[in-house]
Structure 1
Amino acid sequence: MQENLNRPASEHHDSDAAHLASLGYESEFKRDMSPWANFSLGFTYLSPVVGVYTVFAYALAQGGPPMIWSLIICGLGQLLVALVFSEIVAQFPVAGGVYPWARRLWGRKYAWMTGWVYLIALFVTIASVVYGAGPFLAQILGFKESVDSTIICAIIIIALSTIINFLGTKALSAAALIGFTAEIIGALAVGGWLLITQRHHGLSVLFDSFGAQGSHNYFYAFAAAGLIGTFLYFGFEACGDVAEEVPNPGVLIPKAMRRTIYIGGAAATFVCLALVLSVADIPAVIAGKDASPVDTLLKDAFGVVGAKIVLGIVLISFISCAISLQAAASRLAYSYGRDDMIIGSRFLKKFSSARHIPPYSLLLAAIVPAIIVLGSKVSTDALTKIISFASLGIYIGFQMVVLAALRARLKGWKPSGKYQLGKWGLPVNIGALVYGIIAIINMCWPRTPDAPWFDNYIVLVSGVVVIVVGILYMMIHRSYGHSNMPYNDAIPKNVQNERNDISM
């Protein structure tokens, strides 16, 4: 009886190993991550509580209450991206996410640049999350708010995140599930209590800009406020970063990606709705008189003690977000190292057979963000400039994969994994690319005309700097040519040969 119960799982493991072997790899990871843990990893990376609490004041000040509709628009746009990724990961369930996907869809140079941009973005995002969490931890510990206390608390969070990741896939899964539970409780409990006790407006306020656009067309104000949606909806790709740690990844990871969008988006929208309807003086926020409406609301609704409890929930969300980000970054670095694609590969590809984790890749995902955080001691302004690249880099990495998928489709690629879009594949792929380009333009758009040109174009400039540095590295070191692992194999060879014959 017990043998029969265990057989399906063992058959899945054998099938997963055979599929991976057909792609040229023999995994050292343990497939210990359950479907809900995989979803929770993506959810805590997306982190609706962190995203909304961090950007809410800016979005409300820029566009007024209608900014909430950007959560719906961006959610639909990123769902298209998630669907494209689902087809890719189902066919190529390899650890590392965007780098191995771009490698199989296009080639080594393109994959190297995709992974480079995304890896830098992940390091910067980890730094921004732990730095943003620093003040929350400082308040709970009773530290006086300062740059030093924020740095100390941020380093503590990086250390905690690293320790949990070093414990292995099961510990990572448990941390993700705890983070998911905390976020859902935080979203429902805080949002529900605000709606019951602090509500000052009806739903009609969601269509009232309160003059946030000033003398300009409201479209410009909404585009600026819409960054709350743009910044929120990524994290689902983390489900695919750990593809070698999930049983039956071709089926389970696409489901986890979609759940991340559905449930994460619903939670974020609910929290945002509760906050909008509970802000008593919206014009004061728009005018800049109330720069921290979330803090004001929490203190009014929960009192000093209650507000600290809520801050604790928010802090758990920040920590679980950092853990998931670090896991994603380490798997990407390991994937690079395993393919001998970057300097230091002999360390990055080392694997702990006892813990079933890549230790040096994890250390890299701790040391680089810590260095970025420590840089704020020299210049907080410099840290702000570095962090400005975070979301742009992630979107560029996404869209490089989406573009590679579209190119491969037009060259004859027919997804052969367990998840397929069929006839909808091409229109979904085009829609995902169009959305991504619009989102990137919106992020780069200069919105501070009175600031020096460098600050006005800081997001664009930071993106150009990262890409140029990557190109220079490729020209000097040529790491992309060191690997003989498969690449550009999504398009069947017979299709490529047929095209060559026709052209001849």
Structure 2
Amino acid sequence: MQKNPNKKMVESTRKHHDSDAAQLASLGYESEFRRDMSPWANFSLGFTYLSPVVGVYTLFVFALAQGGPPMIWSIIICGLGQLLVALVFSEVVAQFPVAGGVYPWARRLWGRKFAWMTGWVYLIALFVTISSVVYGAGPFLAQILGFDVSVNTTILCAIIILVLSTIINFLGTKVLAAAAVIGFAAELIGALVVGVWLLATQRHHGLGVLFDSFGAGSSHSYFYAFAAAGLIGTFLFFGFEACGDVAEEVPNPGALIPKAMRRTIYIGGAAAVFVSLALVLSVTDIPAVIAGKDVTPVDTVLRGAFGVFGAKIVLGIVLISFLSCAISLQAAASRLAYSYGRDDMIVGSRLLKKFSSANHIPPYALLLAAIIPAIIVLGSKVSEDALTKIISFASLGIYIGFQMVVLAALRARLKGWKPSGKYQLGKWGVPVNIGALSYGIIAIVNMCWPRTPDAPWYDNYIVLVSGIVVIVFGLLYMMIHRSYGHSNMPYDDAIPKEYISTQKKAQ
């Protein structure tokens, strides 16, 4: 008699869930999340967080004005650098598939203090990034609704998008997964369909233009200009770690999340390069953009290609991309805050670790990921420039958080850590780890480099200053509250105990 295939599928699923629960229990946790997120949805979450459409539409004009068409090569360079980081993260999450991402990873690789600071920097960066995404989406929503774009309408529309994102996240993992897939579809339309149409109907240049700077950076070395243009790549290629932030909501996370992380880089990078290529070849007067005479070339190209009504449809697709990006960011931030709270590592842990048994989400952690970004957005009413100054920390903070994990992984390897998860780099572990750390340090220096010599020093060094302020506040918090010592959950267990005992004997 033939066995019922549905019964076999149910048994296989149950075994996977039992195995996942056993692995998590071995790490000291019993999860309250439901593993309702499919591999496809997990990839979509990382993709919409990375959001090539949001990144390109936000920084394309800046990158083209700074470095000319060759700026597109910086996207590829940054993609390769962040792929190395993703490979390191893949090994870590395969062994430690715990909700929250960089904080629990740093905790297992190094220790409590280091993990606390990693999570602090990254959590602040996530809050700021959420505010920057919804604020950036504000003008798109205002245009679609027929509002005049102003500070007030941008703030109103940004808050509307933030509220919508929060509602979707409150509906649970299944709705979050569906929203991520819809966002992924919107990203593909925004990147591929728009890109193909532009190349077919609006192309004004050949591929040779990608090697012509059109005089960009003529006042100093072109390397300086290319490095500035490269900020588009550093802004684009993060988000893959969101796949690991929801590790307790994915079945068989040790095998599936590393695949999702790498696919996010591959497909997201390809989409970003393609849409950037289409835009570069469609801009009629590139020298005018470099000279600052045309500050809205993307709007000009879209209106020329699709007309006024068609351009609004494209804006709608872009808006969906912004919304899905905000949803993914908020999900990541809430899981990190919950992870902090579950380990009693921060003020308010009693609320942050509360869990909704109905929707299987951490409600207060989600509220925190809505309230803080809303306050930052409202702050722009006092000073638009103040918002710009705060947002300048976003990418830097995320890169610092990444590199703290990469550094912790390299340190653990040198102390004897041998990754034992379902994804392993083997003999390539140390070279890839060193490459990831080297790339990250270069990217951080590039982000902090002063580029406005005529501005006051605090504006010229705003990215560096904002990073120092966040880190100093974190250190002061650690000194005063000492939350990092409140939890007895496992830490630094990646490092073999034989190594630790050998070091103690040597001392």
Q: Specify if TM > 0.5.
A: yes
Paired residues, number: 503
Q: In the alignment, what sits opposite 1:480?
A: 484
* Pairing partner for 1:278 from 282, 293, 306: 282
Deviation at 1:393, TM superposition (A): 0.2
C-alpha RMSD of the superposition: 0.6
Unaligned runs of 5+ in 2: none
* Pairing partner for 2:184 from 180, 193, 199: 180
Cα distance in 2, alignment partners of residues 485 and 411 from structure 1 = 21
Q: Secondary structure at the match of 2:354?
A: coil
Matches for 1:343-422 after TM superposition, within 5 Å: 343-422=347-426
Percent sequence identity over matched residues? 85
**Alignment deviations for residues 84-107 of structure 1 (CA, whole Å, 9 cap, x no partner):** 000000000000000000000000
Q: In the alignment, what sits opposite 2:156?
A: 152
* Pairing partner for 1:264 from 254, 265, 268: 268
Q: Secondary structure at the match of 1:449?
A: coil
Q: In the alignment, what sits opposite 1:308?
A: 312
* Pairing partner for 2:128 from 106, 124, 132: 124
Deviation at 1:185, TM superposition (A): 1.2
Q: Which moved more, 1:257-266 or 1:182-191?
A: 182-191
Deviation at 1:499, TM superposition (A): 3.7
Deviation at 1:8, TM superposition (A): 1.1
Q: In the alignment, what sits opposite 1:189?
A: 193
Cα distance in 1, alignment partners of residues 433 and 263 from structure 2 = 19
What code does the residue aligned with 1:57 have? V
Q: In the alignment, what sits opposite 2:345?
A: 341
Q: Which contiguous aligned blocks of 4+ residues in structure 1 show a shift greater than 4 angstroms?
A: none
Q: In the alignment, what sits opposite 2:295?
A: 291
Deviation at 1:153, TM superposition (A): 0.4
* Pairing partner for 1:206 from 176, 189, 210: 210
Deviation at 1:465, TM superposition (A): 0.2
Q: In the alignment, what sits opposite 2:72?
A: 68
Cα distance in 2, alignment partners of residues 185 and 453 from structure 1 = 42
Q: In the alignment, what sits opposite 1:168?
A: 172
What code does the residue aligned with 2:490 have? P
Cα distance in 2, alignment partners of residues 496 and 363 from structure 1 = 41
Q: In the alignment, what sits opposite 2:461?
A: 457
Q: In the alignment, what sits opposite 1:224?
A: 228
Deviation at 1:5, TM superposition (A): 1.9
Deviation at 1:52, TM superposition (A): 0.3
Give TM-score, length-normalised by structure 2: 0.99
Q: Secondary structure at the match of 2:91?
A: helix
What code does the residue aligned with 1:180 have? F
Cα distance in 2, alignment partners of residues 216 and 379 from structure 1 = 33
Give TM-score, length-normalised by structure 1: 0.99
Deviation at 1:60, TM superposition (A): 0.3
Q: Say whether residues 1:15 and 2:15 are aligned partners.
A: no
* Pairing partner for 1:242 from 242, 246, 268: 246
**Alignment deviations for residues 314-363 of structure 1 (CA, whole Å, 9 cap, x no partner):** 00000000000000000000000000000000000000011000000000
Cα distance in 1, alignment partners of residues 55 and 497 from structure 2 = 44
What code does the residue aligned with 1:337 have? G
What code does the residue aligned with 2:379 have? G
Cα distance in 2, alignment partners of residues 228 and 367 from structure 1 = 28
Deviation at 1:496, TM superposition (A): 2.1
**Alignment deviations for residues 242-273 of structure 1 (CA, whole Å, 9 cap, x no partner):** 00000000000000000000000000000000
Deviation at 1:183, TM superposition (A): 0.5
* Pairing partner for 2:91 from 78, 87, 90: 87
* Pairing partner for 1:110 from 114, 130, 134: 114
Q: Secondary structure at the match of 2:70?
A: helix
Cα distance in 2, alignment partners of residues 411 and 170 from structure 1 = 41
Cα distance in 1, alignment partners of residues 202 and 106 from structure 2 = 48
Q: In the alignment, what sits opposite 2:322?
A: 318
Unaligned runs of 5+ in 1: none
Deviation at 1:492, TM superposition (A): 1.7
Q: Say whether residues 1:136 and 2:140 are aligned partners.
A: yes
* Pairing partner for 2:437 from 433, 439, 449: 433
